[in-house]
Chain A
Amino acid sequence: MKSWKLIPTLLAVALFVVVLSACGSKNDNASGSSASASASSDASASPSAKPSASGKTPDPVELLNVSYDPTRELYEEYNKSFAEYWKQTTGGTVTIKQSHGGSGKQSRAVIDGLEADVVTLALAYDIDAISAKGLIDKDWQKEFDQNSTPYTSTIVFLVRKGNPKGIEDWDDLIKDGVQVITPNPKTSGGARWNYLAAWGYAASKYNNDETKIKEFMTKLFKNVPVLDSGARDATNTFVQRKLGDVLLAWENEAYLALKEFGDDYEIVTPSLSILAEPPVAINDKVVDKKGTREVAEAYLKYLYTEQGQEIAAKNFYRPRLQSVADKYKDQFPQLNLLTIDKDFGGWQAAQKKHFADGGVFDQIYTPGS
């Protein structure tokens, strides 16, 4: 009697399992584009591609580059250039899909199985997190030149035209009546660079006196009226809602804002800031599975070539290559730059001290402070 009752249930289970597994296998390859809302593809498609030079790399080949928000324009241009380069050197056809989002969110998507061939994120910390899951080799940051960071940026101030509050340096941000817009360091990679740049300034000013630095930071964040969750949101708050007197922003974001709304804003470069290093890495597990290591490596290496550097500079990222840097030296003023490794002991240490729960950033916001 009892077993009879179970039969319909079991049938239903069986049916579902079949349906699910069918869906699963079908979606396996498409997960790249379906998992990310903003995936887009750049293709220089040519249906009759010559066989590629190497026997191993499939042709035509498709790469997925999982990146963070402000690199959208950069990689749109870069992907076209790389596809042409690949065609010329190997005769192969490569299509690159892009996926953009908050850096941490993108990193989690890769951890949870988004099949990225390469990741190009806002912080080494986010790639470390993927590496900790065994997807990326532990020494990934030594795999490519310059800390695996082909282009850099820094944190600058965006102020309203004419700089009505006379903001020249970090000191001006803690004055009464100045409103500072920066996103929340706990949810935004860019905001962590902002925070550390301010900290670095205070550290040099107060000779590493921690109490005084914390006072400075507390005052600074008292002047922050809104903590947006991401860098693009903060830019919106400043540019569209007209809130605040100064926006702490990636240099490339500041230039983009200037390009869009040129007449309303000015960029102020502080005396000291931080070298923001958005690194790149190969997702070893995925490229080995798909047989795309060769092209993925070439894809990231090409970032360091003259053409790659030129595209980075055109998109307002500071190039590493001296010849290109010289060409664009008017665009990128010289200033003192701290580095995360030398001045903060690397991302793991900085994260633990400042942004982990109960860390310095939380202390700024605990009641009574």
Chain B
Amino acid sequence: MAQARKKDRLLPGFRLTTGFTTLYLSLIVLIPLAALVVKSAGLSPAEWWHTVMAPRVLASYKVSLMTSFFAALVNLVFGLLLAWVLVRYRFPGKRIIDGLVDLPFALPTAVAGIALTTIYAPNGWIGRLTEPFGLKIAYTPLGITIALIFIGVPFVVRTVQPVLQDLAAETEEAAVMLGAYRWRSFFKVILPELTPALMTGFALAFARGIGEYGSVVFISGNMPMRTEITPLLIITKLEQYEYNQAAAIAVVLLLISFVLLLLINLLQRWAGRRLHAA
């Protein structure tokens, strides 16, 4: 019987690898996250609720979610454009641009935050130009969004790029042969193929934005009720040695991210099914 079973699997080592995977994930992801939940359980349900629903905390959810959402949205559009240019065209310096896309991953986020603030502050290179038109960037939600766009760019580009690369030229050629012009073939043929990758990129950028601290804390100005992000409030609780409360807010943040990722995953599946059914 054992031998019959073995034949079912193409590659050997399933048990060892599953064991390793479970253990590894537990040590690196599950146990720390569980510890967070346990820590926040040090509060009574009423305290818990009071902590995570305080007006300032609520305001910070709004700031974090909105800025992350818009940043991910911008990355969705311009990330696609970037990936498109990088895959479809040849031009001098292409390799360099391709390399630049990954830099936000490598840069310590605080460095990015300070650099962005320097540029977008009212006396910075760009802030100086927008200020006369009444457009303030640093120390507003717009500034936070820009920081989050910066750190989110690679997520969309790097998930879309390989899919775009593998897209069979034949389908596109067929579309053109059948009379579909540029835009039509893009929207009817290419975009549906890219949708799952785009959504993954969007979800990753979104989730990253919600948890982002280092790059935002300099450019946001940290004004309570207006530009205070949730991760900052968590740090604030830690500074006051309120470990339980910090954990409680962190758990809420995790839950929000998890639900969002789940939703996007479902949406992606649905989109994928529709595509293959068509």
- CB within 8 Å of B: which residues of A? 5, 8-13, 16, 102, 104-105, 108, 129, 184, 186-187, 225-229, 233, 236, 240-243, 351, 355-357, 362, 365-367
Task: Specify which chain B residues have a CB less than 8 angstroms from the CB of A102 in the assembled complex.
Answer: 239
Pick the residue among B23, B55, B117, B239 that contacts A186 (CB under 8 A): B239
Instruction: Tell me which of B68-76, B80-88, B219-227 binds A.
Output: B219-227
Whether the pair B221, A108 counts as a contact (CB closer than 8 A) is: no
The 13 listed contacts between A and B (C-beta, < 8 Å) are A9-B22, A16-B23, A16-B27, A104-B238, A104-B240, A129-B241, A184-B236, A187-B236, A226-B223, A229-B235, A240-B118, A241-B122, A351-B240
A243→B117 CA distance, assembly (Å)? 12
Contact status B139-A225, CB under 8 Å: yes
8 residue pairs, one from A and one from B, having the closest CB atoms: A9-B19, A365-B224, A226-B221, A104-B239, A8-B16, A241-B121, A227-B222, A8-B19
Report Cα–Cα, A42/B238, bound state, in Å.
31
B20 within 8 A of A: yes
State how many angstroms separate the Cβ of B43 from the closest Cβ of chain A: 12
Other A-B pairs, 18, CB within 8 Å; known A9-B15, A12-B23, A241-B122: A8-B15, A9-B18, A11-B16, A12-B19, A13-B23, A16-B23, A16-B27, A108-B238, A187-B235, A187-B239, A226-B222, A227-B223, A236-B114, A241-B118, A241-B123, A241-B124, A351-B240, A367-B55
Q: Which residues of B contact A236 (CB under 8 A)?
A: 114
The residue in chain B whose Cβ has the minimal distance to the Cβ of A184 is B222
CB <8 Å contact, B16 and A12: yes
A13-B23, A226-B222, A366-B55 are known contacts. Are A186 and B240 too (CB-CB below 8 A)?
A: yes
CA A10 – CA B223 in complex, angstroms? 51
Task: Take A187-B239, A241-B121, A357-B242 as given contacts and tell me if A225 and B221 are in contact as well, using a CB distance cutoff of 8 Å.
Answer: yes
Q: List chain A residues, Cβ under 8 A from B208.
A: none
Nearest Cβ distance between residue A234 and chain B, in whole angstroms?
A: 11
Q: A240 contacts which chain B residues (CB < 8 A)?
A: 118
Q: How far is the CA of A225 from the CA of B121 in the complex (A)?
A: 12
Contacts of A12 on B, CB cut-off 8 Å? 16, 19-20, 23
A residues near B151, Cβ cutoff 8 Å: none
A338 to chain B, nearest CB (A): 23
CA distance A11 to B221 in the complex (A): 51
Known interface pairs A241-B118, A242-B123, A365-B56; A105-B239 also in contact (CB < 8 Å): yes
> Count the B residues whose beta carbon is within 8 Å of the partner chain — how many?
36
With a CB–CB cut-off of 8 A, which chain B residues contact A186?
236, 239-240
| Bound-state Cα–Cα, A296 to B27, Å | 38
Asked whether A357 and B54 contact (CB < 8 A) given A8-B16, A226-B221, A227-B221, the answer is: yes
B232 lies within 8 A of chain A by Cβ: yes
Q: Please report which residues of chain B, range 2-25, place their CB below 8 angstroms from some CB of chain A when the two chains form the complex.
A: 15-16, 18-20, 22-23
Interface: B218 (CB within 8 A): yes
CA distance in complex: A159, B225 (Å): 28
Q: Mark B195-214, 1 if CB is under 8 A from A, else 0.
A: 00000000000000000000
B52 on the interface (CB 8 Å rule)? no
CB distance from B257 to the nearest CB of A (A): 23
B217 within 8 A of partner (CB): yes
Per-position contact with A for B69-113: 1 when CB-CB < 8 Å, else 0?
000000000000000000000000000000000000000000000
- Report the minimum CB–CB distance from B146 to chain A (whole Å): 16
Contact A229 B232 (CB under 8 A): yes
Docked complex Cα distance between A169 and B218 (Å): 29
Q: Which residues of A contact B56 (CB under 8 A)?
A: 362, 365-366
Alpha-carbon distance between A362 and B224 when the two chains are bound, in angstroms = 9
- Chain A residues, Cβ within 8 Å of B27: 16
B139 x A9 contact (CB < 8 A): no
Q: Which residues of B contact A184 (CB under 8 A)?
A: 222, 236
CA distance A104 to B241 in the complex (A): 8
The minimal Cβ–Cβ distance linking B134 to chain A, given in whole angstroms, is: 16
Tell me the bound Cα distance from A148 to B89 in angstroms.
68
Residue among B117, B122, B241 facing the most chain A CB atoms (10 A cut-off): B241
Known contacts: A226-B221, A226-B223, A240-B118. The answer to whether A9 contacts B239 by CB under 8 A is: no
Residue-by-residue, is B41-59 near A (CB-CB < 8 Å gives 1, otherwise 0)? 0000000000000111000
- Closest chain A residue, CB of each to CB of B235: A187
Min C-beta distance of A30 to chain B, whole Å? 21
Instruction: Report which of A9, A187, A351 forms a contact with B23, defined as CB distance below 8 A.
Output: A9
- Shortest CB–CB separation between residue B99 and chain A, in angstroms? 27
Q: Which residues of B contact A104 (CB under 8 A)?
A: 238-241
A5–B15 touching, CB < 8 Å: yes
What residues on A are CB-neighbors of B238 within 8 Å? 104, 108
> Which B231-253 residues sit within 8 Å CB-CB of chain A?
232, 235-236, 238-242, 245
A138 CA to B31 CA, complexed, in Å: 34
Q: Are B236 and A108 in contact (CB under 8 A)?
A: no
Q: How far is the CA of A295 from the CA of B217 in the complex (A)?
A: 40
Could you say which residues of chain A place their CB within 8 Å of the CB of B122?
Answer: 241-243
Known A8-B19, A9-B23, A357-B54; judge A229-B124 contact (CB<8 A): no
Question: B114-132: contact bitstring with A at CB < 8 Å (1 yes, 0 no)?
Answer: 1001100111100000000
B221: nearest residue on chain A (CB-CB)? A226
Would you give the shortest CB distance from A219 to chain B, in whole angstroms?
16
Bound-state Cα–Cα, A319 to B54, Å: 44
Q: Which of A228, A355, A362 contacts B222 (CB 8 A)?
A: A228
Q: A355 → chain B, closest Cβ, in Å?
A: 7
Q: Quick one: closest A residue to B237, CB to CB?
A: A357
| Shortest beta-carbon distance from A333 to chain B in Å | 31
Q: B117 to chain A: which residues have CB within 8 Å? A: 241
Query: B139 to chain A: which residues have CB within 8 Å?
Result: 225-226
Which of A5, A10, A351, A367 sits near B225, CB closer than 8 Å? A367
